Structure 1
Amino acid sequence: MSGPSTQIVAAAPVPESRSPLRDPAFLRLWAGSTASGLATWAMPFVLGLALLDGTVTAAALGLVLATRTAGFLVAVVVGGVLADRYSRRAVVWWAGLAAGLASPVLAAGVGRSVPVMALAGVVIGAGQGACRPAFQALTAEVVAAPLRQRANAALTLSVRVTTLTGPGLAALLAAFLSVPTLLLGMGLLWLAAAALPPRGQHAPAPVPGERTGFVTEFVDGVREARRHPWFLAGLGALAAVITTGYSATGVLLPLVSRDRYGVEAVLVAATTAYTAGALLGALVVARWHPRSAGWAALAGLAAYGLAPLSLWLPVPAALVVAAYALAGVGIELFNVPWFTATQREVEPRLLARVSALDFLVSYGLAPVGLALIAPAADAFGPGPVLAVCAAVCFLAPAAAALVPSARRFSAR
């Protein structure tokens, strides 16, 4: 089956040393992506403030966050198909607009109606899910190939800076503004995410009689992913690390911090060190181009195993913090080359669908891991669970590296 025709405008050669931040089009894309990332982060944090002041219950908070996740997982597939079928810019616009308009509904439901909050959560999650693959594909349209690694590093830097500085800023604003007002501000961020990104070069022309269903078109994206063994291997390793290591540290780090070290400061220091390490990793990978980029990226992904390993072994608290910092460095040494290789290797007309598959697997398995880790720790003890998770984090990327095309994240 032939897909929609795609028009790609050839760009003049671009010096690899040039910064993408000098390009106004990328600056608009970066600002829109940053706004969407800040809005995505803000929702659970602001609702957590509502839980602390008694406006919402823990059950209501859990339900709203669960409905947001459900909306994300459904919309990431639909958004990937739509972003390949139509303009990626249009998908970002409608996704951001939907999330922006649902935010006042969420604000109105706080403390009044849990069903209204849950419904708004579905729509906000759907907006978040639909825009993610569209942003990935739009980056490939806006940024010339030699500059994409730096562009992806700049995009992930904004996410890490938001994560590092956001809690303090939100806590400061919460001293002067109510939770509903903060949620309205989140809606403005979504509207900015919708309006700021530029138009890309992708202009599919629908061919009468060739339109198929969403499932069929998404399966076309899966087939494209299967053409790239390095992608399947890397995605499998990423899913294994997120399901085990990421979930284990998310659930068990607070317990180890309390029970082994007797203070919650280890929890705060470790999570801060992880974000700071990710910032450093993004800065490094913006300029570092190893010949065996895939192996280097998978080694960075394997570094996440240091986090559950440090929680398993009876080491000083400083080593736990150092392990989380190295895990943060490693995750960006993986993320940036991974996104760059996907944008380079995947057929442009199928890029959003392949990116949707990436997000679907990685985000979709995270709740499964979070749900299973606590019962496993109760049944077998935290030590064996952490040991298994550390082993998986080390072995899964090593197994992926054995795939021949994984060395450079390219079959060429």
Structure 2
Amino acid sequence: MTAPAPTAPDTPRPGPRSPLREAPFLRLWSGTTASGLATWALPFILGLAMLDRSLTAAGLGLVLAARTAGFLLAVPISGVLADRYSRRAVVWWSGLAAAVATPFIALGLERSVLLMGAAAAVVGAGQGACRPAFQALTAEIVDGERRQQANAAITLAVRVTTLAAPAATALLATVLSTWALVVGTGVLWLIAAALPPRGRDVPGPATGGTAFVKEFGDGVREARRHPWFLAGLAALAAVIFTGYSATGVALPLVSRDRYGTEAVLAGALTAYTAGALAGAVLMARWRPRAQGRAALTGLALYGFAPLSLLLPVHPAAVFAAYAIAGLGIELFNVPWFTAMQREVDPRLLARVSSLDFLVSYGLAPVGLAFLAPAIDAFGRQPVLGGCAIVCFAAPAAAALIPGSRGFSRRRRD
């Protein structure tokens, strides 16, 4: 009897096929990219409207605030709906609502800020409604082995749109009116609504509308079953409340007062986006053994951003700090989304995702509103120092919670 030929233990195994090479995920990815372009382009377009005096500064603030309010109101509602019904249907109706409302923003230019605000609230609601549904639809379309690649591809598209949307808007503004640009974002929302495919449709049992609070409570209870999720969400909220707010409020002040130029502000934000792009590319391939610990370490890197504003350093050090912060935030985001899709009950995934978005996005405007009075009351240095400490300490504390090592309730060796 002939012995079998020995296998080559060092022969590399082919990696999993990229989700972008398959039509269903490519359609989903294109839809999320279109929604990202529409989301990031609108504030820039309205800024151009303010410059050409079609909109006042107060009007701009009201319209953007209305969009944020619509977003926050819709997120928990859509989480329940996306678990109760088809995730694809929720994406369709939320994108369609944003597409239909967008022309009314254009119609209100130079006519009615209230009309613009009401339309912007509907657009924000559409934006908020599609987020949990997109998250759950990704888990339906992509198998577990390739979800990290899929989430990295989606977050890479999000970061590209933060650069492409303002640049494309500025270029198109040379040949198109502000009205046409606003309507163009509505076309993008229509694309976002129409492109994504159907998933496997794993909704929970349909119940009456009066059970909404109970159904969202089921999502909260599911979140509480995962201590790593609560710890990670608390750390993320702390970093957003402090580090993100420092970027939004203190960075412009430091750029103006310490360096005497807005170039430091622009350079730091560009470096942050570049770092985030690098992080998304890295996480498409890298699978650390202790994913949770690696992700929380990445989240803690945001502390270098307020730290660089605290010290009188060369602008290059500020740029480097923001590049590290951008890299770190994607080292956190990609495993975080992947872990939710893996660990959370599929019937409750959209509700848990909505809780994630509600807490993280909801605290962002609160932190921005809080930081400026805090700087006025206590001074820039103590506030920035406190922000840096929180950014470093909160993820470190979260890493001590059971399950945080691998973002899983199951023991992973």
Q: Which category describes the TM-score, using the shorter chain as reference length? A: over 0.9
Give the corresponding residue for 1:242.
Answer: 240
CA RMSD of aligned residues (A): 1.3
Give the corresponding residue for 1:310.
Answer: 308
Q: Where does the alignment leave 5 or more consecutive residues of structure 2 unmatched? A: 1-13
C-alpha distance in 2 between matches for 1:390 and 1:362: 18
Per-residue deviation, residues 352-404 of structure 1 (Å, max 9, x unmatched): 00000000000001111000111111111111110000000000000000002
**5 Å matches for 1:101-112?**
101-112=100-111
Per-residue deviation, residues 116-175 of structure 1 (Å, max 9, x unmatched): 001001100000000000000000000011000000000011111111222221111111
CA contact under 8 A between 1:16 and 1:147: conserved in structure 2?
A: no
Instruction: Give the TM-score, by structure 1 length.
Output: 0.95
**5 Å matches for 1:362-377?**
362-377=360-375
Give the corresponding residue for 1:333.
Answer: 331
2:375 is equivalent to residue 355 of structure 1: no
C-alpha distance in 2 between matches for 1:158 and 1:141: 20
Per-residue deviation, residues 219-239 of structure 1 (Å, max 9, x unmatched): 100000000000000000000
C-alpha distance in 2 between matches for 1:93 and 1:16: 33
Query: Aligned-pair distance for 1:39?
Result: 0.7
C-alpha distance in 1 between matches for 2:171 and 2:195: 27
**5 Å matches for 1:3-402?**
16-204=15-203, 206=205, 213-402=211-400
Per-residue deviation, residues 202-249 of structure 1 (Å, max 9, x unmatched): 143746x77752111001000000000000000000000001110111
C-alpha distance in 2 between matches for 1:211 and 1:177: 44
Query: Aligned-pair distance for 1:305?
Result: 0.4
CA contact under 8 A between 2:295 and 2:331: conserved in structure 1?
A: yes
C-alpha distance in 2 between matches for 1:254 and 1:381: 15
C-alpha distance in 2 between matches for 1:163 and 1:210: 40
C-alpha distance in 2 between matches for 1:118 and 1:158: 28
Per-residue deviation, residues 257-315 of structure 1 (Å, max 9, x unmatched): 11111111111110000000000000001110011000000000000000000000111
C-alpha distance in 1 between matches for 2:243 and 2:94: 31
Whichever residue aligns with residue 89 of structure 2, its letter is: A
Aligned residues: 398
CA contact under 8 A between 1:16 and 1:146: conserved in structure 2?
A: no
Give the corresponding residue for 2:10.
Answer: none
SS in 2 for 1:296: helix
C-alpha distance in 1 between matches for 2:372 and 2:204: 50
CA contact under 8 A between 2:202 and 2:347: conserved in structure 1?
A: no
- Change in Cα spacing, 1:205 to 1:406, as seen in structure 2 (3 Å) is closer
C-alpha distance in 2 between matches for 1:267 and 1:393: 20
- Change in Cα spacing, 1:23 to 1:295, as seen in structure 2 (3 Å) is same
Per-residue deviation, residues 299-335 of structure 1 (Å, max 9, x unmatched): 0000000000000011111000000000000000000
C-alpha distance in 2 between matches for 1:206 and 1:86: 9
- Change in Cα spacing, 1:64 to 1:395, as seen in structure 2 (3 Å) is same
C-alpha distance in 1 between matches for 2:165 and 2:267: 16
CA contact under 8 A between 1:89 and 1:197: conserved in structure 2?
A: yes
C-alpha distance in 2 between matches for 1:268 and 1:71: 29
* Larger Rg over CA atoms: 2
Whichever residue aligns with residue 229 of structure 2, its letter is: F
Once the two structures are overlaid, the 10-residue window that deviates more, 145-154 or 209-218, is 209-218
C-alpha distance in 1 between matches for 2:204 and 2:270: 47
The runs of at least 4 aligned residues of structure 1 exceeding 3 Å deviation read 203-207, 209-212
Give the corresponding residue for 1:4.
Answer: none
SS in 1 for 2:115: helix
- Change in Cα spacing, 1:171 to 1:265, as seen in structure 2 (3 Å) is same
Report sequence identity in percent: 72
